Chains A and B, each alone.
Chain A
Amino acid sequence: MTARDTHIGDISGPAQHNAGQERPFLSWPVARKEFYQTISVSMLLPLLWGVAVFGFRAAVIILGTLATAAVTHYLLERFTQRGQLLTWNHTLAYAVIASGLTAPLLTWYWALVMGASIVLLIWIAGLPGKQRFHIALLAPLALTAIFVPAGRWPVLVLDHLTIGDIDQSIAAQIYRWPKRSPSRGVDAVLLPRPEQVIQHTLGKIAGDPAGVQSHIALQNMFAMNLPSPPALLLGGVPGRIGTVGIFAIIIAGLYLSYRHILPPDASALFLIAVLVGLIFGPLSPRVLHHEFWQSIGGLWYLAPERSIALLFYEVCSSDFIFASVFILALPGTLPIEPLARKVFLVLAGLAAALLHRIAIPLPPATVALLLLQPISPALDMLLHRRTWLLD
């Protein structure tokens, strides 16, 4: 008998992504560059959604941030030795996330300042692979907190989406996303931010959830002061540019999970911890030593439907979903040990819920993750998993 073998056609052989001289001779085709690129690409949809809802001023903030970040990056790379360690994909990822965390009301020149400061902060303390803290994200948080009033923020009316000017706005009496412009020359309506309305009402009902005053406050909140659930999901609410498009964020999250950048179980655990914190946490910081009925869980016994609706508004109106996708996707946010990750996510979720109830003028989930990020290495060390082979 002779040797027989098959030899058919021209089909590509083993993939050659990377692969050095040492084994393994293949590499998963996502390098650090693609890691950050994927995050930036996934941010596009929520940002475009934000531009649709807030108009060209949001686009100016995004483009201004990106442009100044690029210029600053170029200058630092060109003229400083340390700047040569900066990478474009890393800078871009932080710039897009930062612009997503910015309020659309921020004046354009502050957006330029933000773009430059993001890169400067990275250059000082957050070089790719060196950052112990997402220091670049401090820029949008600080600028929005300082230069944008916390009260009412504008949102374009339906027939002026994208093309409207949020500066041409009037205060709305009832919380509604108007279908057409209330009057000529007015493109947007000024609405209280949903999280502010919720905080205000929770403060009122915290003392006595079963009382008449609480009942009236809840009635008003749902009848007049909160957007409808579809408007909330579609982004027709005043908020930060990247955080209002819940559908867009969910699509981006699915894409990031598909690309293995975002661990979906991490997002789920974080959101579960947030929900637990919101359900069992005190309704208001004034009742920190609360009894169970002073929480949403307690409210369930009094008004089950309202408590679920309230929870829905709390989760969707803030940055919980945004942070559970984009901040968790950023490498370096989470510890790397499996148990440390779980503990971190539970702590961060509970902290986010608590910060939300305290009503800080900052996005609570992002702030909670940033505050806990420095303890990641300690958690990794404390909760190190020993290999099953050596047990």
Chain B
Amino acid sequence: MFMGKMSLRSRQVPGGLYFGPPAWDAPVWPARDIAESSPPTLLPETPEALREVLQRLKIGGQDIWAPALVDQLGGGAVRDVVLNLVAPQPESILPRVLSEFELPQLITGLNLVRRCVSAPRAILAIPRDESEIRYQWGAVAKAHPFVVRPLVNRYPLGHPSILLRALLGLKIQPGASPADAGVVLLDPMTCWILGCWIEFGGVPQWRPVELFTHNAMPRLIAANLGQPLSQVFSDAGIIYKERQCIINGMMTGELVNPEQTVLEPWIRIISLRPPPLVEQPVDCIRCGWCVNACPAGLNPAGLMAQVRMIDSLPAISAQEASACIDCGLCSYVCPSRLALAVTIHSLKTADAQADTPGEAT
């Protein structure tokens, strides 16, 4: 039975197929008013000035997929500004929709950042199969110092470490600032908000959020910041009781209680589904799928052997866990249903704590 599903509803990812939700059906930008005031007369021109603006507008606090812009400013010389238009998770379309409906704001925001960090050019990382926005940005690039770089989007290409390696051959350790390598990595949402600020003088107090629900097409809605997720569901006419609520995608997301969680600026995706049947983990069968799937080139089963005896599998140094990008692919493909991603994350955290003076136990 699942063979049929495999061919009909799947997207290719390294190490296997991604069982994502069905394809989107011509999403529409959930436009809402933006509280207007007078547009800024004096635009920031230095990294310090831009940082001040970002702090004032409270733009920052991103997740593993989008390092906060405010943390990347004020370092050394910046060679390139990279606008990451690659969707972090296969089911996400926000970068595409933003490019389609809010292109002027994106261009304005991108040019502002480029000027502030004195970067000679901006690179646009665009999925190769998104031909529409590729041509759209290609036309824009003729009038601006932008370079369009189409990439084959295989999860987790949107991750900073993987993207900058594919794009510029850089090795950015997970959690490290791309600015250390002379690059500023910009996510489209930050870019859009900056564009809105220049255009309207204010920033939107709502966010476009992708909503995935069981037995329904995904939709893009506008939800107010600070609003409980339960309210977001009620406004959208969705029953959330007795459902699992997962924010920011099924691969690297987080399980939350919609009544106790409010919409934060970094919440891009909300998924609701009935609680699934949980398969219990069994012994590792040494299939090697996790090794094949790992985009960081780790041996997840070997790292797992650090904390749990795996027959005939030598344990790998726990130090290597620090290179884990937390994409979750190892756990996703594991036929033994081992909690590889969570275990490696805990090894990584323990290793980081041991390295921090004063916190070592």
Measured CB to CB, the residues of A under 8 A from B are 1-32, 34-35, 127-132, 260, 263, 331-332, 334-338, 341, 376-377, 380-381, 384-391
Contact = CB atoms under 8 A, between A and B. Distances in A.
B332 A26 contact: yes
B61 interface: no
Contact of B19 (A5, A15, A387, A391): A15
Contacts of A35: 285, 287, 335
B313 to A, nearest CB: 6
Nearest to A29: B2
Interface in B133-151: none
Interface string B318-334: 01101101001101111
Given A3-B222, A389-B173, A23 B328 contact: yes
Given A27-B279, A32-B285, A14 B216 contact: no
A1 to B, nearest CB: 5
Interface stretch (B44-52, B181-189, B249-257): B249-257
B320 A381 contact: no
B216 A5 contact: no
B273 A24 contact: no
A16 B320 contact: no
Contact of B337 (A20, A377, A388): A20
Contact of B285 (A12, A24, A332, A341): A332
Given A10-B215, A336-B301, A387-B297, A18 B312 contact: no
11 contacts: A10-B215, A12-B215, A13-B215, A14-B20, A24-B250, A24-B328, A132-B312, A263-B292, A338-B292, A377-B314, A390-B319
B108 interface: no
A14 to B, nearest CB: 5
B223 to A, nearest CB: 9
Contact of A5 (B220, B254, B276, B292): B220
Contacts of A381: 314
Given A13-B212, A391-B171, A1 B331 contact: no
Interface stretch (B25-33, B73-81, B113-121, B190-198): B25-33
A389 B296 contact: yes
Nearest to A85: B283
A389 B176 CA distance: 11
Q: What is the predominant secondary structure among interface residues of chain A facing chain B?
A: loop
Contact of A29 (B6, B22, B173, B286): B6
Contacts of B20: 14-15, 26
Nearest to A329: B287
A388 B320 CA distance: 10
B342 A14 contact: no
A8 B25 CA distance: 8
Contacts of A389: 161, 171, 173-174, 296-297, 323, 325
A31 B171 CA distance: 34
B282 A23 contact: no
B126 interface: no
A24 B298 contact: no
B216 to A, nearest CB: 6
Nearest to B322: A390
Contacts of B328: 23-24
A228 to B, nearest CB: 37
A391 B320 CA distance: 11
Contact of A1 (B32, B161, B312, B333): B32
A34 B289 CA distance: 14
Q: Which of A10, A12, A30, A387 has the most CB of B within 10 A?
A: A387
Nearest to B174: A389
Nearest to B297: A387
Nearest to B332: A24
B283 A128 contact: yes
Given A260-B289, A377-B314, A380-B302, A34 B335 contact: yes
Contacts of B219: 5-7
Contacts of A384: 299, 302, 314, 316
A260 B215 contact: no
B338 to A, nearest CB: 10
Nearest to A13: B214
Contact of A14 (B212, B299, B332): B212
Given A13-B212, A380-B314, A22 B273 contact: no
B217 interface: yes
Given A26-B332, A128-B282, A132-B311, A11 B276 contact: no
Nearest to B274: A16
Contacts of A14: 19-21, 91, 212, 214, 250, 271, 273
List of 5 A-B pairs having minimum Cβ-Cβ separation, nearest first: A129-B283, A15-B19, A336-B288, A24-B328, A389-B323
Given A336-B299, A384-B302, A28 B19 contact: yes
A31 B283 CA distance: 12
Nearest to A35: B335
Given A23-B342, A331-B285, A385-B297, 20 more contacts: A3-B31, A3-B221, A6-B220, A9-B216, A14-B212, A14-B273, A19-B250, A28-B335, A29-B5, A31-B279, A129-B285, A331-B287, A332-B285, A337-B291, A377-B314, A387-B298, A389-B161, A389-B171, A389-B174, A390-B323
A275 to B, nearest CB: 24
A122 to B, nearest CB: 13
A1 B32 CA distance: 5
A15 B9 contact: yes
A5 B331 contact: no
Contacts of A7: 216-217, 219
B284 interface: yes
A13 B213 contact: yes
B22 A12 contact: yes
Nearest to A10: B215
B314 A385 contact: no
Q: Which of B30, B253, B325 has the most CB of A within 10 A?
A: B30
A107 to B, nearest CB: 34
Contacts of B217: 6-9, 11
A387 B320 contact: yes
Nearest to B294: A387
